Structure 1
C-alpha cells in the first residue's frame, strides 16, 4: 500500500537545500523493513529526494540506474562505511505532484514486500523495478488510459483470472503477461501465445487487430485468440475494482501483487487516476479461437508487397470453424492447468 504523501511533504518542508556547498540535508522516516528511508534535499538545487540506505545489499558499479524525464536515481555518499545509499531525486523540470505520487508508491512497494521477510537484495530489486515501471509509465505521457486501452486492459485482466481459475500457477500467469511491453501478443504461454481481445458490442463480435504480426502463427505457434464480450451493467466492475479482485486472486502475496502493479504501470495504469475509470464491465461471453490457416486475418505473408502496417477489424462470428476451448488451448500450448 502506498504511503501517505503528508509524511514526505512535511519532511521536505522542514529541510533546506539552498546551501552553496553540494551535499544533503536529510531526516529519517519510518524504515521499510531493514531499509532505512530518509527524506532529503540536495544542495545547491534544493531538489526533493528520498534516500534508501541498504546496510548489506550490493549493487554492481557498472549497473545503469534508471532515469526519467522528471527524476533520477543515483548512488549517494553513505554515513556508514560499506552501506549502499540510493537517492531518488526530482529533477528541476519534473512535476512535484507526480514525483510525490511516485515516492509514495515506491516506498509503499518496498514496505509491502518487506513484510514477507525477504533479504535486502530482493528489496533493492523491488526499488529499481518499481522505478523502471514509473519511467515507462511517464514515457507514455502519464495520462489516464484511453477508453479503448481501458477496454483492452479489462480483457487482459479477465483472461488472467480465467487462467488462474484453470489452475495455471500464479508465477506462470504473471510471467506470461507481456502485453504491457507492446509485444505482438498479450500472453506468451508455454510453447506459443495468446492474444486477448475485448468488445462492448452487442451486435456481432467485432475486435480490432493492431498489426500484421498480431495473428501471424508463422512467427509464434500454436497461437490462440481469447475474446471477451463485456456489457455495461450495474453488476459489473470498474477497472480499479477488477484490479483489486485480481490482486485477491493472487492470494494477496506481496511479491506477486507488487509484480502485477509494476506491469499495470507499464501498461499505463496509475492508481492515482482511479477516479477517472467509472465505466463498469460485466463479462457476458468468452470465446477461444485457434489461429491457423484460413482464419480471417491479415499477415505479412498475405498482403501485397509494400504494405508494412495495418490496423483492421474482424467479426469473430465468422470464425466459428476455429472455435476451441481453454482446456484444449492450454494442452496444445503445453501448459498444465
Structure 2
C-alpha cells in the first residue's frame, strides 16, 4: 500500500517500467498498486500486461452499481462498474480505463484530479463527488482538446483575469464572477445586463494592434446594448510582474468568504485550462504597461458580417489601436457605466 501523497502519474510510470521489464510473477492480467484515499475508499492503479493500458479502480458502494448509476464520460475514456480482474482484491469498483488513442498526459491528469477530489471522503459521498469531478472534465473536453495552454492562450487569459480582478477592485460585486464568459467561448468575454466587454491583450511593441478572430467579435448588435473593447498592453518580464496564477490568487482573496462565488470561479478556471497542477507551471510574468477602453459603435473600425459579400465568413483581422482614438472613453466613465449595468443585473 502506497501513501496518498504520490501522484497518479508517478504510480503509473512505475507500473509501466515494471511492465516493460516483463519481470512480473504470477498469472494475474494486471500489474497493480494500491493507495488508500480514505478509510473507506481504496484506489487501485493498474496496467494491463497485454497492451499496457492504464486503468484506475475506485472502490465504491455496490448499491450504486445495482441501481445502474451512470457517470459522465467523454471520448478517450471508459467508465463502468466492475469487479477486479486480479485474484485477492474483492469488492465493487468504478473502473476508469484509458481509451484507444488517448494521451497518457491527459489520463494521468484526470486520475490525479479524481484522487485529489476523493481524498479523505466517506464512501457514501463518493458517487456525488466523483460525478461532479467527472462532469468538470466532460465540460472541459467539450470546449478544449489540449490540457496545457499555449503562450497565446496564457496571455489572453491573463488579460481577462486582470480585468476580472479590476472589476472586483472597483466594487462591481461578487456577481462579477458570473459576468466572465471567456471560459465558455461565448461571443464576448464579459456579459453584464445590457453591456458586453471584449478583452484584447498584446505583448507586442507599439504600434499596438488587436487581433480580432471573427466578424462578430466587435458587433455591438450582439452585445445586448453597450459594447466596450478593453485593450491591455503588457511587457513580459523575467523577474517582476505577475503570472496568471498570481492574478487568480488575487481574485480568490476577494471572494474567499463567499462559497458560491468561489465554487463558480474554480469551475471556470478549471474549464479554461488553469486547474492544478498546471496553473503553477505557467511561469510567464507580465507587467501591464497601459490599457485603454473604447466604445464600439457605429463608425468604429471593424468588419461586420452584414457588410460581407455572400459566401464570405470566418474573417480574422488586425485592428490598429491608434485608429480607434475617437472612440476611446475615460476609465472613470467606463467604471461608472459598468457599475450601472451591474446594478441592473442585481435589481
* Matched residue, 1:50: 56
Which deviations, in whole Å up to 9, do the C-alpha atoms of 1:30-73 show, x marking residues without a partner?
A: 3269755333456875632222344499699585732233x333
Task: Answer yes or no: is the 8 Å Cα contact 1:2–1:109 preserved in 2.
Answer: no
Over the residues paired in the alignment, what is the CA RMSD in angstroms?
4.2
1:156 pairs with 2:164: no
State how far apart, in whole Å, the 2-side matches of 1:293 and 1:17 are.
75
* Matched residue, 1:131: 137
TM-score, scaled to structure 1: 0.74
* Matched residue, 2:327: 321
* Matched residue, 2:296: 291
Deviation, structure 1 residue 151:
1.6
Deviation, structure 1 residue 325:
1.0
Provide the secondary structure at the position in 2 that maps to 1:208: strand
State how far apart, in whole Å, the 2-side matches of 1:38 and 1:232 are.
44
Deviation, structure 1 residue 231:
2.0
Deviation, structure 1 residue 306:
3.2
* Matched residue, 2:82: 76
* Matched residue, 1:67: 74
Which deviations, in whole Å up to 9, do the C-alpha atoms of 1:206-258 show, x marking residues without a partner?
A: 21111111111222312322222212344212334444444444429673564
> For the structure 1 residues 57 and 220, does the alpha-carbon distance in structure 2 shift closer, same or farther, using more than 3 Å as the test?
farther
> For the structure 1 residues 152 and 246, does the alpha-carbon distance in structure 2 shift closer, same or farther, using more than 3 Å as the test?
same
Task: Answer yes or no: is the 8 Å Cα contact 1:225–1:290 preserved in 2.
Answer: yes
* Matched residue, 1:263: 271
> For the structure 1 residues 44 and 148, does the alpha-carbon distance in structure 2 shift closer, same or farther, using more than 3 Å as the test?
closer
State how far apart, in whole Å, the 1-side matches of 2:25 and 2:339 are.
57
Task: Answer yes or no: is the 8 Å Cα contact 2:71–2:134 preserved in 1.
Answer: no
* Matched residue, 1:190: 193
TM-score, scaled to structure 2: 0.72
Which deviations, in whole Å up to 9, do the C-alpha atoms of 1:114-153 show, x marking residues without a partner?
A: 69xx95554133321233255357x5345540x3322211
Task: Answer yes or no: is the 8 Å Cα contact 2:71–2:79 preserved in 1.
Answer: no
State how far apart, in whole Å, the 1-side matches of 2:230 and 2:209 are.
13
Which deviations, in whole Å up to 9, do the C-alpha atoms of 1:286-320 show, x marking residues without a partner?
A: 33333222222221123333332211122334244
* Matched residue, 2:87: none
Task: Answer yes or no: is the 8 Å Cα contact 1:235–1:282 preserved in 2.
Answer: yes
> For the structure 1 residues 108 and 320, does the alpha-carbon distance in structure 2 shift closer, same or farther, using more than 3 Å as the test?
farther
Task: Answer yes or no: is the 8 Å Cα contact 1:154–1:239 preserved in 2.
Answer: yes
Instruction: Map 1:165-244 onto structure 2 (within 5 A).
Output: 165-170=169-174, 172-222=175-225, 223-233=227-237, 234-244=239-249
* Matched residue, 2:44: 38
Between Structure 1 and Structure 2, whose CA radius of gyration is higher?
Answer: 2
> For the structure 1 residues 88 and 128, does the alpha-carbon distance in structure 2 shift closer, same or farther, using more than 3 Å as the test?
same
Provide the secondary structure at the position in 2 that maps to 1:218: helix
Question: Which runs of 5 or more structure 1 residues have no equivalent in the other structure?
Answer: none
> For the structure 1 residues 293 and 104, does the alpha-carbon distance in structure 2 shift closer, same or farther, using more than 3 Å as the test?
same
Question: Which runs of 5 or more structure 2 residues have no equivalent in the other structure?
Answer: 85-89
State how far apart, in whole Å, the 2-side matches of 1:226 and 1:17 are.
63
State how far apart, in whole Å, the 1-side matches of 2:63 and 2:191 are.
33
